[in-house]
Amino acid sequence: MEVKITEKDNVMTAQLIGRLDTAVSQEVATTLQPVIEQANKTIVLDCKELSYISSSGLRIFLTIRKAAAGKGGKVIVRDINNEIRQVFMMTGFLNLFEIQES
Amino acid sequence: MAARKKLDKATRLATRQGLLVVIVCLLTLEATALLQYYYSRKILSEESTRRAQGQLEATKLHILNVLDQVETAVRNSQWSVEQQLIKPDSLSAVTVRLVASNPVICGSTVALKDHMLAPYSHEAEGTILTSTLATEEYDYPHQEWFVKPLELGEGYWSEPYFDEGGGNILMTTYSVPVVDKKGRTAVFTADVSLEWLSDLIATVKVYPTAFNMVVSREGRIMVSPVETLTIEHNVHDLASSMEDSTTFQSLNQTIMAEESGQDTYKYQGKLHYMFFDKVPRTGWVMSISIPEDEIYGSIKRLGAMVTLLQIVGLLMLILVLYYMVRGQRELRQSEEQKNRIDGELQVARGIQMSMIPKIFPEYPECADVDMFACVIPAKEVGGDLYDFYIREEKLFFCIGDVSGKGVPASLVMAVTRSLFRTVSAHEKSPQRIVSTINASMSDMNETNMFVTLFCGVLDLKNGHLRYCNAGHNAPVLVQKDGNRELPVEPNLPLGVLFEMSFTEQECDLSCGTGLFLYTDGLNEAENAYHQLFGEERMMAALKSGLESRQQIAAMTDAVHAFVAGAEQSDDLTMLYIRFMNSQITEETERHLILHNDIQQIPQLAEFVESVADIAKLDVGMTMSLNLALEEAVTNVIMYAYPPGSDGLVDVEAVIREKELRFILSDSGVAFDPTAAPEADITLDVSERPIGGLGIFLVRNIMDEVTYTRSDDGKNILTMIKKLA
């Protein structure tokens, strides 16, 4: 699992690459801490190369979403694959996040 | 109790035998001693007789010599007396000459018959005096010495007498009749002092306490040991001083009647042997009396010493026999004990052998497997074990070897075998079976005994073999294309390390594949040159296609031919299993065992993908299942075991045509995830809780989720996914 964070024009982009399972979730959460701290900005979670997500990954997504809601920011989930979309649908996350296709 | 009685009986028998020996010895010794006594006595008796008689004979000859001297001297002078009878006054010259020329003769007379004339010459203080016997008071014509020769017409020795006139000495007189041509008659005498006789007799000493006696023909005592008895006394006087005078009287009658002989009498309370001999002419009887003690004293002393020695010898013999009997009893006791232990070992052997399956085929109705096993036991009880049984279409089997030999090993073997049965009764994973047995054994392993064990579970439906090895020899896979060792992790033997984590392995057996399991009694069988049978010979003897019974027989023959009669030092156990099911069913099983470490999640992902491959699932379904499994397993890892403690999660996947079934089991705290409240996915961002999604996902992905808590304290979560 790899996380790349870039900032451009007041938009924070976190590129998630690989499997986000329970084993790596703690590490990913730590990596994304700066993003959560700047939740007043627009946050883009780039899932183009995210192959898998477990409930622990969903918790990170939800944590960011809650932070944004609190600080008046915005969270965009971009390019999720069909499998993850299925999970989002199952868990009601489709209603909580703005999903974009690039 | 029976042994004790037997022992007592044997002891009594030994005691009786010992007594018999003592009695025989005693009789032999006594007989020898008696015989010796009898012959010694005889020899001593003969010796005493010989000595006494010899002495008597010599003394008799001495006396006769003196008597002969006197008789010769008298005879030589007899002619002179005859010539002088005509002129009696000159007779004294003859008598003087006779006395002077013969020292033995101390006096002499010639007494005329017709006239009272008897000149007498005798020696007194060196000179020879002459007097006359023709006195009124003496009246010689009536004296014995005068009357007897005339009566007899020959020489006559008178009874001994005391010469009152001539110095109180004991004397005897030899007198001869003399008649000249004119018929003038006289008696010519020679007096002989008997002092020399006492002296002579005194020199006769046959034994120190023997004593001698001489009595005259009329029983007068001439020489006796009792000084008070003199010539005035006779043997009757002597007899009257004895306690059994009658014996002595009759003895004297014998003495008087016979020339010589011997007899016994009692004197002063002691038995005396008397030897006697009679001197011719004078009729004197000489006797030697020897006390019995004197003759047989030495033999009595010898007898006493022999008896003493015999008693000491017998006591020593009894002592020796006592120690022998006791020694034998101890020997017998230790033998009894040894026999009892041997017997008990045999029983232990029997019990041990009865624990392992011996009837083949054990499952004749089951065509999926062909099995045979054998144990060739070493002399003593050993620690080899094997076991197998079929449960839920699975063959559970194990083979093992306990370190060491003898009773301790056999006890550990029995424990191990019991644990295998108990643990495997509700456990399908060999890894868990082995781990549980290990934990139990390490816990109670105070004697540091350990066991190598190979445990396997063969699915008879599809040939899938799950196995776990605990330090045992790797079994051999026997296949058409050659034999090879089953790849095994060595791990550690059971009972070494309490927290040892064993690795489970698996493989699939195709129809006809054989699995040969053995203990080191096979590959380490030694021949007389201390060469080992070895793996190479073992591999060469394994032939694919042989039935299990034939395979075991072939291996047994091979190893027997190799050792060629050398003594077997270790148990030899072999187990051969051939998987024979050619119709693999659609059901397949896969297993995974994880520790309660979140870092093991990627392994779970691999496992799910391998299951998905078998079930030929698409990517989406694979990911969904992956997610469900991860959520369920994570739940166990995070919450089932106390933080910091090690725990296991067993994942079993059953793949069927129409469904996929995942069974999760753990030994953690009881927790039913299905009882958790349903997550509300319709809530707004601010109201939505962070957690609670895991179980929600499991429920949503799977078609059926059920939880049970097993009797042996396990959480079992079964998740079913229907396949289209």
Residue B198 pLDDT: 84
- Chain A contacts of B701, Cβ < 8 Å? 90
DSSP secondary structure string for all residues of B209-266: T-EEEEE-TTSBEEE-SSTT--TT-BHHHHHHTSTTHHHHHHHHHHHHHSSEEEEEEE
What are phi and psi for residue B712, nearest 5 degrees?
A: -90, 25
Local confidence band at B604 (pLDDT 50, 70, 90 cut-offs):
very high
pLDDT at B228 over 80: no
Whether B399 and B518 have beta carbons less than 8 Å apart is answered as yes
Q: Does domain A9-100 have CATH number 3.30.750.24?
A: yes
A42-55 pLDDT, tens per residue? Answer: 999 999 999 999 99
Whether B521 and B572 have beta carbons less than 8 Å apart is answered as yes
pLDDT at B94 over 70: yes
Dihedral angle of Cα B417, B418, B419, B423, to the nearest 10 degrees: 110
Residue B281 pLDDT: 84
B383-420 pLDDT, tens per residue? Answer: 888 999 998 889 999 999 988 777 788 888 888 888 99
Whether B122 and B128 have beta carbons less than 8 Å apart is answered as yes
| B695 secondary structure, DSSP code | H
Contact residues for B377 (Cβ-Cβ < 8 A; gap 6+): B349, B353, B384, B571
| CA-based R_g, chain A, Å | 12
Establish if A82 touches chain B: CB-CB under 8 angstroms.
Answer: yes
Over pLDDT 90: what percentage of chain A? 62
Q: Exposed, middle or buried, B536 (CB in 10 Å: 0-12/13-18/19+)?
A: exposed
B503-535 pLDDT, tens per residue? Answer: 899 898 888 889 999 998 898 888 888 888 988
Q: Which residue of A has its CA nearest to B635?
A: A22
Please give the C-alpha separations between residue B197 and each of B174, B189, B192, B252, B265, in angstroms, as whole numbers: 16, 20, 10, 21, 25
Local confidence band at B203 (pLDDT 50, 70, 90 cut-offs):
confident
Strand partners, B290: B273
What is the dotted CATH code of the domain comprising B356-579?
3.60.40.10
Closest-CA residue to B434 (of B399, B476, B382): B399
Local confidence band at B707 (pLDDT 50, 70, 90 cut-offs):
very high
The ipTM of this complex is 0.91
Cα(B475)–Cα(B523) distance, integer angstroms: 12
DSSP secondary structure string for all residues of B592-614: EEEES-GGGHHHHHHHHHHHHHH
Whether B683 and A66 have beta carbons less than 8 Å apart is answered as no
DSSP secondary structure string for all residues of B84-139: HTTSGGGHHHHHHHHHHH-TTEEEEEEEESSSS--EEEEEETTEEEEEE---TTT-
- Chain B contacts of A54, Cβ < 8 Å? 627, 630-631, 634
**Structural domain boundaries of chain A?**
9-100
Interface test with B, best of A56, A63, A77, A98 (most B CBs within 10 A): A56
pLDDT at B289 over 90: no
CA distance A65 to chain B (A): 7
∠ CA B451-B457-B458, rounded to 5°: 140
Tell me, yes or no, if the two domains B356-579 and B588-722 fold the same way. Answer: no
Over pLDDT 90: what percentage of chain B? 24
Interface test with B, best of A19, A21, A36 (most B CBs within 10 A): A21
pLDDT at B710 over 60: yes
Residue B144 pLDDT: 85
Pick from A52, A56, A62: which is nearest to B626 by CB? A52
Span B346-374, average pLDDT: 78
Span B485-511, average pLDDT: 87
Residue B103 pLDDT: 86
Local confidence band at B224 (pLDDT 50, 70, 90 cut-offs):
confident
Contact residues for B74 (Cβ-Cβ < 8 A; gap 6+): B98, B155, B174, B176, B188, B190
**Partner B, chain A 15-54, Cβ-Cβ below 8 Å:** 19, 21-23, 51-54
B621-652 pLDDT, tens per residue? Answer: 999 999 999 999 999 998 889 988 888 899 99
The single residue listed with the structure tokens 């776990």 is B468
**Structural domain boundaries of chain B?**
356-579, 588-722
What is the dotted CATH code of the domain comprising B588-722?
3.30.565.10
| B474 secondary structure, DSSP code | P
Which amino acid is present at B716? Answer: I
Residue B299 pLDDT: 84
Closest-CA residue to B572 (of B493, B519, B640, B649): B519
pTM for the whole structure: 0.46
Least confident stretch, B133-137, B238-242, B442-446, B690-694: B238-242
